[in-house]
A and B are shown apart, each in its own frame.
Chain A
Amino acid sequence: MVEQLPEWAALAPALTLAFTGLALLLVDTIRPEARSNTSMAVTSALGALASLGFTVWFVVAGTGHADTGGAIYLFADAIKVDTMALFFTAIFASVTALVVVAAHDYFHDHESPAEFYSLVMFAATGMSLLAVANSLAIVFVALEMASLPSYALVAFLKRDRGSVEAGLKYFLVGAVSSAIFVFGISLVYAATGSLILGDVAEGIANLDGLTGVAGLGIVMMIGGVAFKTASVPFHFWAPEAYEGAPAPVSAFLSSASKAAGFVVAFRVFTEAFPVGASLSAGIDWVLAFGILAVVTMTLGNFAAVVQPNVKRMLAYSSVGHAGYALIGLAALSAGSAGNSSVMGAAMAHLLVYGFMNTGAFLFVAMAERWGVGRTFEDYAGLAKRAPIACTAMAVFMFSLAGLPPFAGFFSKYFLFMGAIDNGFVWLAAIGAINSVISLYYYSRVVKAMFLDDPSTPTALDTLDVKPTALYAAVVFAAVGTVLLLPGFGPVIETAEAAASALF
């Protein structure tokens, strides 16, 4: 038996991200002349990869797993490290690594890129803290810790009106949502007398006439979660922020930040408000998520259909995918054995989504770097000039649409099957119809790139720029999307094991 690491070491992934961010900030402050875009990008990528390495190691070693002594509680139960936390931290770390690598080329002529890298690292730290939060107080603090750097990141292009406006809107909607969320927490505290998730669950079981207070609090907390996951009706910030923000930031927000919202939702709603106890208390939050899931995926997909701008289309598609992932919460039923499979499938979908959606946004980043324009028409004929990147983009699009043989097909298949097995055929049916609609706008991108001819023969001459790091990030995301196909077995098993620990 090897010597056991101290328990706080279970936070190594989050700590690595935090220290990387601090180190970047430190260098930037003390020796501004020593900083260079490249060294900053490399440092942050290494930090993110180290964090990913820790999570993968811990998952494989079984840290926080029921077989090795169960979840690790730290700081008076305020922190809980279990398989789900590690699983989501892996998503955050992967996306972060892809984004910082891509940012190297995207911000090649920016005057102070160092701030970008440290902000991304701090946001990622906040997200990984969200994944381990076991107290509503920590949840709120971590949520803000993830959100505040995000606002700054969206507005990072200070001289770009769109970027600044998007940042402001994001901040304003975020402020409203945070207010609602923290008010919800206070109501829940008022009704149950605790902030620790496990104790809240006990309080929910004996409400003593405080059902209305607790119910109001829970719905308000749903609002906070909906904001973070960009679900309707808290999604309004998303299309504007994603469109206005620098594309790597859009990738980061739509993949990692969304997953962070889901990890909170999964943890808080299963541990603090168990399905059975909530139902018998008269608080049917499963129904609320069902409504949100249907409205979110429908609205996201229908709006995506009519967008002329690829980035905005991706923004709405990201809203639609939030709807799919919400099925993980909407298809639960009290005491059902299928709960862990459907929630595990939602987690696996978020992991796959992390790769394919980040990749898609990074492709947009590359298009912006090339300067080819933003609409579908501007993408016409790109494949002739950049076949590898366009093939990668086609992989992302088909995987997002859920076509076999890509990983997106399997994750969506397991998600819908889980819903059907749990008795929510209607949810799966609506999800399937929405997937069909989504095929339209995803294939439009592929058609434009591969089949259409450029509007003018010289339209694509700007493609002579070769952004190596962006290329690498896009190709790596594509490889990840493809490799998740044979690797899907372990992923879904880990995700289901993580989910089953919650019920």
Chain B
Amino acid sequence: MVDAFAYVPAIVLLPFFSFLVALGAGKYLPKGGAFGGIAATAGSFLLSLWVAATVLGGRTYNETIYTWAGGDQFELTFGLLIDPLSALMLVIVTLIALLVHVFSLGYMNDEGETGLPRYYAGLGLFTASMLGFVVADNLLMAFMFFELVGLCSYLLIGFHFRQPGPPSAAKKAFLVTRFGDYFFLVGLVAVFATFGTAQFAGPESFPALAEQALNGSFDAWTPLGLGVEQWFTIVGLLVLGGAVGKSAQFPLHTWLPDAMEGPTPVSALIHAATMVAAGVYLVARMFGFYALTPTTLAIIAFVGGFTALFAATMGVVKEELKQVLAYSTISQYGYMMLALGAGSYVAATFHLLTHAFFKALLFLGAGAVIIAMHHNENMWDMGGLKSKMPVTYWTFLAGSLALAGIFPFSGFWSKDEILYEAFIHGLSDPLLLGGWIMGLLAVPVTAFYTFRMVFLTFHGEPRSETARDPHAVRWNVKGPLTVLGSLAVVAGFVNMVPVQKLLGIEGIDFLTQWLDNDFGGIDGVSYSHYNDLLATYAGYEAGEIAGSAETTLIVAAGLSLGLAVLGVLVAWKLYDVPEPTEHTAKLGGAKDVLYNNYYQDEVQVWLAYRTEDVAGGADTFDQGIIDGVVNGISSVSLAVGDRVRRIQTGVVSQYAAMLTLGLVVLILVLGVTGGWFL
């Protein structure tokens, strides 16, 4: 019998080969290597489906395949972990990557871009890195691929390197996420030092050992005499640093809007399936560890909720299509973090899934609009595109409804579950409740900016020449849009938990069962195990209002749906008119604050300058003291060397003399210490 798991490495390697092919031979290939990329990602997608089907059949895989450094304390390995979570993620990533490759034919090739081999090589490596990250069975391997993902984002965001914006944005993305990764790296070392292993799953994995350490049955190393709880919290927060950077959570979110300088299909890949998803996936992957540290969870939830609201408000005033989407991504990943913090591993994964589809859809839709508008992204120059590009319009609308969280589109189900989970657990925890309130407030804002975008782009009268006569798009744009549009509508039905609870229809919570190892999985990596951990170690308990779980459910769902509809209605009132005008003046002083993104960039620049001052001091120290010493040593070395050289006079009789003298000295030293002459 052919084993699907034997082909898991191929899932990662296929896009890697397409990277090599595009890099090495791209310029000799038709379409700059695009077909190689499409074939590779299609192959990976099919293999991922097969792997997912195998997992559905009840089998999992958790093996080390290569030990590249071994020691007494621990081993550094590469391995594969295929469980329901990673199998699901494989399917998402490969599907989005495949569609992005197809879409790129329309966005890059048809638009006559240059440097296509470089582009497709980047896409291939990006996909391969993310897939390697997804299948990693230990934190170190995950970190390495995490860094590769960061590198690829740098390469792709800076694709148009001759313009001033993209290289700068690429550097910013790289540096800001690296800032988070430093914490991740320290956390990684801490995990090794504490547990001697960085495996994600299995009885010898670090989440399992952490649990035993809290039980007292495993003796974990801690520094400075810290208690294990405090130390685990610190380790959790350190690793979280990487996730905050990559998933663009406050305060490391500033790179993401700038990253819009990259080609739009790359944005779709970054936002939906690869880079930004990596952070949330990392937390979900090691959720068994986070479930043990309530402080970390509360911080995750609060940061997530805050980011959700904060980013949504900034999205309200943006004029460029992709900018709105960028802020919405930050906001939506905030929701996922909120879900993780609230202990709902399933809700976070669910939103990751639905968001991957609708956000990829929205970005590709935006890409289609940008093609049509000859690369003008300003929404105030658009309008009336609805009739000119119906496929794009309808799919974009489906994605927008999902993003806004309107029933029954996919985003509604996942967002509702997040808010519900945050609410019931928040009733006993004020920090969580704070996260929930911010998450809830973000709902109408999200709906508002989403539909402001839709109305400004597609409705009303065309406001420019290009909008009156847009560029046509071909099948390679419409195809991916159609696929994703359908998924954005239906993806929510995989986990209709509220309906199950209210109507008592069993078996419509497929995703929950899937992640709860109902079809088979690895012990210790399941939703119910995490719930046990949360209840035991984090003291999480589900509260309810009015003494009834059903009432709680209806109130929570009704509240979020009502607020979403309210947001849509306001946007409709203000912007669905033939000649919409800017209403930002009504915001008064808040307008400038929002336009300038709460002066976040300014704060970071200020911080960077202060860091530079410190660095300047260090530099003076380095130049003056350290280099001074080094230069001193080297000039002393040279001077001494010069003296030493002069010993070599070239006269043999002097050599014989010095040789004998040296021997006599040696005899004297040994003779005196050994007492030969007594």
Q: How far is the CB of B441 from chain A (nearest CB, A)?
A: 55
Q: How far is the CB of A296 from chain B (nearest CB, A)?
A: 11
Q: Which of B637, B642, B661, B670 is close to A437, meaning CB atoms less than 8 Å apart?
A: B637
Q: How far is the CB of A486 from chain B (nearest CB, A)?
A: 13
Q: Which residues in window 101-158 of A have CB below 8 A to B?
A: none
The residue in chain A whose Cβ has the minimal distance to the Cβ of B667 is A219
Q: How far is the CB of A245 from chain B (nearest CB, A)?
A: 16
> Does residue A25 face the partner (Cβ distance < 8 Å to B)?
no
The contact string, 1 if C-beta is below 8 Å from chain A, for chain B 619-651, is 000000000000000100110111011001010
> Does residue B546 face the partner (Cβ distance < 8 Å to A)?
no
Q: Which of A173, A215, A237, A440 is close to B670, meaning CB atoms less than 8 Å apart?
A: A215
> Does residue B589 face the partner (Cβ distance < 8 Å to A)?
no
Q: Complex formed: what's the CA distance from A243 to B641 in Å?
A: 18
Q: Which residues in window 278-312 of A have CB below 8 A to B?
A: 281-285, 287-288, 291-292, 299, 302-307
Q: How far is the CB of A101 from chain B (nearest CB, A)?
A: 32
Contact A288/B656 with A219-B663, A305-B638 known, Cβ cut-off 8 Å? no
Contact A287/B673 with A176-B656, A233-B661, A305-B638 known, Cβ cut-off 8 Å? yes
The residue in chain A whose Cβ has the minimal distance to the Cβ of B661 is A233
> Does residue B666 face the partner (Cβ distance < 8 Å to A)?
yes
Number of interface residues of B (CB under 8 A): 29
The residue in chain B whose Cβ has the minimal distance to the Cβ of A214 is B676
The contact string, 1 if C-beta is below 8 Å from chain A, for chain B 645-678, is 1001010100110111111001101110111110
Contact A307/B645 with A173-B656, A233-B663, A291-B669 known, Cβ cut-off 8 Å? yes
Q: Is the interface of B mostly helix, strand, loop or mixed?
A: helix
Q: Which of B634, B656, B666 is close to A219, meaning CB atoms less than 8 Å apart?
A: B666
Q: Complex formed: what's the CA distance from A288 to B660 in Å?
A: 15
| Residue numbers in B under 8 Å from A240 (CB-CB) | 648, 650
The residue in chain B whose Cβ has the minimal distance to the Cβ of A278 is B674
Q: Which of B637, B640, B658, B674 is close to A211, meaning CB atoms less than 8 Å apart?
A: B674
Contact A282 B644, beta carbon cutoff 8 Å? no
The residue in chain B whose Cβ has the minimal distance to the Cβ of A168 is B652
Contact B663 A220, beta carbon cutoff 8 Å? yes
Q: Which of A234, A287, A291, A304 is close to B659, meaning CB atoms less than 8 Å apart?
A: A234
Q: Which residues in window 26-75 of B have CB below 8 A to A?
A: none
> Does residue A63 face the partner (Cβ distance < 8 Å to B)?
no
Contact A302/B637 with A172-B656, A219-B663 known, Cβ cut-off 8 Å? yes
Contact B676 A211, beta carbon cutoff 8 Å? yes
Contact B634 A212, beta carbon cutoff 8 Å? no
| Residue numbers in A under 8 Å from B663 (CB-CB) | 180, 219-220, 223, 233
Q: Which residues in window 108-125 of B have CB below 8 A to A?
A: none
| Residue numbers in A under 8 Å from B676 (CB-CB) | 211-212, 215-216, 282-283
Q: Complex formed: what's the CA distance from A451 to B174 in Å?
A: 30
Q: How far is the CB of B657 from chain A (nearest CB, A)?
A: 10
| Residue numbers in B under 8 Å from A239 (CB-CB) | 648
Contact A303/B645 with A216-B676, A223-B663, A282-B676 known, Cβ cut-off 8 Å? yes
| Residue numbers in A under 8 Å from B640 (CB-CB) | 302
Q: Which residues in window 159-182 of A have CB below 8 A to B?
A: 168-169, 172-173, 176-177, 180
Q: How far is the CB of A175 from chain B (nearest CB, A)?
A: 9
> Does residue A236 face the partner (Cβ distance < 8 Å to B)?
yes
* Chain A CB within 10 A, most for which of B638, B659, B677: B659
Contact B670 A236, beta carbon cutoff 8 Å? no
| Residue numbers in A under 8 Å from B648 (CB-CB) | 236, 239-240, 303
Contact A305 B641, beta carbon cutoff 8 Å? yes
Q: Complex formed: what's the CA distance from A307 to B648 in Å?
A: 12
Q: Complex formed: what's the CA distance from A299 to B646 in Å?
A: 12
Q: Which of B650, B655, B666, B675 is close to A288, meaning CB atoms less than 8 Å apart?
A: B666
> Does residue A48 face the partner (Cβ distance < 8 Å to B)?
no
Contact A284/B671 with A180-B663, A303-B648, A305-B637 known, Cβ cut-off 8 Å? no
Contact A219/B662 with A282-B676, A302-B641 known, Cβ cut-off 8 Å? no
Contact B670 A306, beta carbon cutoff 8 Å? no
| Residue numbers in B under 8 Å from A282 (CB-CB) | 674-676
> Does residue A232 face the partner (Cβ distance < 8 Å to B)?
yes
Q: Complex formed: what's the CA distance from A234 to B662 in Å?
A: 8
| Residue numbers in A under 8 Å from B644 (CB-CB) | 299, 302-303, 306
Q: Complex formed: what's the CA distance from A176 to B652 in Å?
A: 11
Q: How far is the CB of B626 from chain A (nearest CB, A)?
A: 14
Q: How far is the CB of A291 from chain B (nearest CB, A)?
A: 7
* Chain B CB within 10 A, most for which of A211, A223, A234, A236: A236
Contact B641 A176, beta carbon cutoff 8 Å? no
The residue in chain B whose Cβ has the minimal distance to the Cβ of A184 is B663
| Residue numbers in B under 8 Å from A169 (CB-CB) | 652, 655
The contact string, 1 if C-beta is below 8 Å from chain B, for chain A 191-216, is 00000000000000000000110011
Contact A212 B671, beta carbon cutoff 8 Å? yes
Contact A232 B656, beta carbon cutoff 8 Å? no
Contact B652 A173, beta carbon cutoff 8 Å? yes
Q: Complex formed: what's the CA distance from A240 to B648 in Å?
A: 9
The residue in chain B whose Cβ has the minimal distance to the Cβ of A218 is B670
| Residue numbers in A under 8 Å from B634 (CB-CB) | 440
Q: How far is the CB of A350 from chain B (nearest CB, A)?
A: 23
Contact A287 B669, beta carbon cutoff 8 Å? yes
> Does residue A348 face the partner (Cβ distance < 8 Å to B)?
no
A positions within 8 Å CB-CB of B: 168-169, 172-173, 176-177, 180, 211-212, 215-216, 219-220, 222-223, 232-234, 236-237, 239-240, 281-285, 287-288, 291-292, 299, 302-307, 437, 440
**New contact pairs (12) apart from A211-B676, A233-B663, CB-CB < 8 Å:** A172-B652, A180-B663, A212-B676, A215-B674, A216-B676, A236-B658, A237-B655, A282-B675, A284-B673, A291-B669, A306-B645, A440-B637
A/B interface sample: 8 pairs, CB < 8 A? A219-B667, A233-B661, A237-B655, A283-B670, A287-B669, A291-B669, A299-B644, A306-B638
10 tightest Cβ-Cβ pairs between the two chains A and B:
A233-B662, A282-B674, A212-B676, A236-B655, A306-B641, A305-B641, A302-B641, A303-B644, A215-B676, A219-B667
